[in-house]
Structure 1
Amino acid sequence: MADPFARIDGAQVRPIDHLLLRDDPARPAIGGRAGAQSYGELEDSLGRLAAWLAGFGLPPGARIASWMAKGTVSALMPLAAPRAGLVHVPINPLLKHAQVAHILSDSGAGALIGTATRLDSLTEGDVPRTCQRHREDDAACAMSGGPALGPSAAAPHDLAAILYTSGSTGRPKGVMLTHANLRLGAVAVADYLALTPEDRTACVLPFSFDYGQNQLFSTWISGGSVYPLDYLTPRDVLKLVDRHDITTLAGVPPLWVQLTELDWPVETAAKLRRLTNSGGALSRPLVARLRALFPQADLYPMYGLTEAFRSTYLPPALVEAHPDSMGHAIPFAEILVVRPDGRLTADDEPGELVHCGPLVAQGYWNDPARTAERFKPAPPASRYGGMAVWSGDTVRRDAEGLLYFVGRDDAMIKSAGNRISPTEIEEAALAVSGVAEAVALGVKDDRLGQAVRLLLRAAPDAAEAVAAHLKQELPNFMQPRDIKILPDFPRNPNGKIDRVKLARDHGL
């Protein structure tokens, strides 16, 4: 029989809502506080949730938003909405009403599903008049029985989701993702992480975050089981790993810093088989701490951006020799490093990272101006052609083909004619004992244009040791004008350090 589904780069692209269909439906698919369900049971729940959504009477392609904590409903919404012919708009549960109001208005959401307390926090002005409101409790009730929708026949390039960026760098933008974008992202990650049906993934990152949502998709496409967790403290993560024999844990650097500060029992740490990182680079000292604390776990440093999901990863075997590297392209991604004129750079020559291929999103929802700034024709050297994501990130590629992050153009510090990468200063500071986190900012200086201010989350007496170390390791033009120690750094809803707020409070 002919393959009824499209193939892209040799991969079969079924609709994203087919993820739970398996030949072994009795295998566990979800567990933890959300309750345990097999693949067969979860597929039944998915079909009933999709039928309930379809009953809202929204036209095909209408946007449906969800604003709730992690659980079975939030885990299934990314599959149920597209099965019902709708486009899912997940909202980070940590956002406040003004941010939620912007997302509802910008997306033109026809319905919002949320927990009662979250819905009650919204005023009439926050919710468009045409947007229905439904309680998460009603969704959970609908999943327990009643009619069900079968798998959809969506085309690979049909829109399935709009993921809004955190908004830390300005008004949140809605990134448009198709069934193919989501499905191929799941295939790619499952492939290079070598996930198996025996794996159990702790889902601690927000499902509104592409990295967090892919925890579900890549595990399910491999036949493994997921364990959603809204943790209050890092110790909750440790307890989940211990209680459910978790093998796979994804995080961002601030979470890893907190987790490495815990006293992990040896037998609990040994349960983890792989650690994945994105949302910021791992420092050399943090890599060393992770490898010492979790010696049985493979460590996967990764780089991504919502506009193209994931771009690169560093194989665990290369972490020891190249701890600063972003690695190389993931499956289905073509990564080019180009000069301003679009030509490829030479070895070790800095240039802009450009992501080409089928993981590239479809632009920003209802925002052609900002879409045109980031989504442009691929460089002539691309084997894919078409539209590419021009990241704005400066990287370099060495002679072995490994990529290294240099910095974002809009984050570079310009001092006395020098372009200074904050990352280089931060990594040097993190090499000093007692420094947990570091952020380098540019501050106005009448003589230099900008001077360097270094912010640390560190022991109270660490500033002097850091200053001495930087004088040994960095040139004069990179030396901080001052060093400040803060008790904590602000975070954005995805758990990353909120550099914009730090810059506003301590920078220019």
Structure 2
Amino acid sequence: MTKTENPPSRPIDHLARCGAPDAAALLIGDRVTSFADLDAGVGRLALWLLDQAGGPGERVASWSAKTRLACLMPLAAARAGLIHVPVNPLLKAPQVAHILSDSGAKLLVTNAARADTLGADLPAECAVQELTIAEAMIDSGGAGLPPSIAQPDDLAAILYTSGSTGRPKGVMLSHANLWLGAESVASYLALTSDDRVLAVLPLSFDYGQNQLLSTWFAGAAVAPLDYLTPRDVAKAVLRHGATTLAGVPPLWVQLVESDWPGDAAASLKRLTNSGGALTPSLIDAMRTTFPNAAVYPMYGLTEAFRSTYLDPKLVADHPTSMGSAIPHAEILVCRTDGTVTADEEPGELVHCGPLVAQGYWRDAERTAERFRPAPRASAYGGMAVWSGDTVRRDANGLLTFVGRNDAMIKTAGNRVSPTEVEDVAVASGQIFEAVAFGVPDDRLGAAIVLIVRGKTDADRDALAAYLKANLPNFMQPQMVEWRDELPRNPNGKLDRVAIAADWKAAA
């Protein structure tokens, strides 16, 4: 079989030059950053980052709200030959300390309040620089670094995502991964330079970061937003004349239940969803609330960015479908022996092609589990991501999600590792052991249940306070139940299946 060549790509920092020099690229508050200013600011920030980090190839982390710095970091780090590690601003000190240590970050750019929470957990080799100093470098004047000449396979970023067991793992993304992902999304969404994209998702997520990259690929403007209420989103759509909004199911539930000024709802032309499936009733509500907007259901995984999308023209007749492959992705449905399934036969979704990441950072064992040679039927060959998700393909090539094979909890658009929740609970000193699992929830997608076996003198309020202090909001259990004993399997390990089944039977 003749293999398909990967499409050409460019260094990711070249996105700062995709728009007309005087066109708006970034909208933050009342400040408008043109593409010319974006390119110059990226160059100056890159020069400063390179000096702070000590040389090319080092990892530099950013941990902040959606500041101008947070938006420029993916391009500036890449221009300097550094590797960007964006940290979710919702995470708390234990998770952040793990990411900094695991990545070997030489520099963390954040504000003083966040840095102080790390205390002694800050790795000794990681320097901290104040966010305001980095922001000042963007406007410092003078020449910065020129556009990079990075090769397509050069590492540009490490994005941390929760695994089914253990702590978050870093997914290694190349310049080609990011560039072609931006090109793909801009293509199938048909973004143009006239569009205004409201970016409400965290920039530490591949889906959230792509809000920036695909917008700039199209030469359009992006307006980052940290919101507290759905009303904040509606006001920002009206203020910026937003045409495009990306979200996850819990956010769409909030937005369709909110009061929208007519002009705001009418300005939106496209709504994109990932991080969980839309229900037919929610799709109907979105179409009613935003009558001029096309709805794009999508499926993705950080290890391959995005896999499928459903053409808006097909949503009405196929509301539960994942759609088909996005540009630059090859999606196969395979049996356990690697052969391709027949139509309507369930199989594992396997993602092939140039959007496949380079594996997990310094974790050969877990890389070998998820990144394996592509099936013989692949037109691309090389390495593929074996998703662990079971899907079906119909006669028209449309995919439908059947089930997730691992133990991940998908809640409020986030993938949460049960083990990570359990480890924090045990670290409280109030319990001996814990089991976390997800149960269906209309608003969250899945709610987290935590079953614990407490110590004799356990303080239940102290456990609750410890979880609140050491887990981000989206990882907080909605229910905590205390037990005297927990069932075990023949190997002496906690019987997670039995524990979850017992709870569901009693609920």
1:457 Cα offset (Å): 4.9
Further displaced range: 27-36 or 106-115: 27-36
1:255 to 251, 254, 263: 251
Q: Does 1:37 align with 2:33?
A: yes
Displacement, 1:24? 2.0
Question: For 1:454 and 1:81, how far apart are their aligned partners in 2?
Answer: 40
| Kept after mapping to 1: 8 A contact 2:164/2:406 | no
CA contact (8 A) 1:34 1:72 kept: no
1:130, CA displacement in angstroms? 1.3
Residue in 2 that maps onto 1:432: none
1:279-308 deviation per Cα after TM superposition (whole angstroms, max 9, x unaligned): 110011101100111111010000000000
Which residue number in structure 1 is paired with residue 56 of structure 2?
A: 60
From 132, 138, 148, give the equivalent of 2:133: 138
2:391 maps to 1:366: no
Task: Give the aligned residue type for 2:378.
Answer: S
RMSD: 2.6
Q: Tell me by how many angstroms 1:23 deviates.
A: 6.5
- Of stretches 28-37 and 143-152 in structure 1, the one that deviates more from structure 2 is 28-37
- State the alpha-carbon separation in 2 of the partners of residues 494 and 18 from structure 1: 34
Indicate the percent of aligned positions where both proteins have the same amino acid: 61
More relative contact order in 1 or in 2 (CA 8 Å, sep 6+)? 2
Superposed, 1:226-237 pairs within 5 Å as 226-237=222-233
Displacement after TM superposition at 1:377 (Å)? 0.6
**What is the deviation of 1:132?**
1.0
CA shift for structure 1 position 76? 0.4
Measure how far apart 1:36 and its partner are.
1.0
Matched-pair contact (CA < 8 Å) for 1:14–1:156: yes
Q: Distance in 2 between matches of 1:34 and 1:51?
A: 27
**Compared CA separation, residues 503 and 354, structure 1 to 2 (3 A):** farther
* Cα distance change on mapping 1:180 and 1:493 into 2, 3 Å: farther
C-alpha distance in structure 1 between counterparts of 2:99 and 2:6, whole Å: 36
Return the match for 1:187 from 174, 183, 189.
Answer: 183
Residue 170 of structure 1 deviates from its aligned partner by 3.5
Provide, for residues 125-165 of structure 1, a one-character-per-residue CA deviation record: whole Å limited to 9, x for no partner: x2211111101100011111244111011000000000001
Are the aligned partners of 2:91 and 2:472 in contact in 1 as well (CA < 8 Å)? no
Given that 1:180 and 1:358 are in contact with CA atoms closer than 8 Å, whether structure 2 keeps it comes out as: yes
**CA gap 1:453/1:134 in 2 versus in 1, 3 angstroms:** closer
Among 256, 260, 263, the alignment partner of 1:267 is 263
Q: Is the 8 A contact 1:32 1:244 kept in 2?
A: no
Q: Which amino acid aligns with 1:382?
A: S
Match of 1:153? 149
Q: Which residue of 1 aligns with 2:209?
A: 213
Match of 1:127 in 2: 122
Give the secondary-structure state (helix, strand or coil) at the position aligned to 2:204.
Answer: coil
Name 1:118's counterpart in structure 2.
114
The residue that corresponds to 1:279 in the other structure is 275
For 1:391-470, list aligned pairs within 5 A.
391-410=387-406, 455-457=440-442
Q: 1:19 aligns with which of 15, 21, 32?
A: 15
Deviation string 1:63-103 (CA, Å, 9 cap, x unpaired) is 11110110210000000011111000000011000000000
Moved over 3 A (4+): 8-12, 166-170, 452-458, 492-495, 500-508
- Supply the distance in 1 between the matched residues of 2:154 and 2:386 (Cα, whole angstroms): 23
1:82-97 correspondence to structure 2 within 5 Å: 82-97=78-93
Give the secondary structure class of the aligned counterpart of 1:20.
helix
User: Could you tell me how far 1:190 is from its partner in structure 2?
Assistant: 0.3
Count how many residue pairs are aligned between Structure 1 and Structure 2. Answer: 431
TM-score, normalization by structure 2: 0.81
Residues 30 and 37, structure 1, Cα contact 8 Å, conserved in 2: yes
How much has 1:411 moved relative to structure 2?
A: 5.1
Q: 3-state DSSP class of the match of 1:246?
A: coil
User: 2:387 matched to 1:387?
Assistant: no
- Gap regions ≥5 residues in structure 2: 412-417, 419-436, 444-467, 482-498
Distance 1:50 1:288, change over 3 A: same
SS in 1 for 2:254: helix
Q: Which residue of 2 aligns with 1:324?
A: 320
CA contact (8 A) 1:302 1:312 kept: yes
User: CA contact under 8 A between 1:393 and 1:406: conserved in structure 2?
Assistant: yes
AA paired with 1:128? P
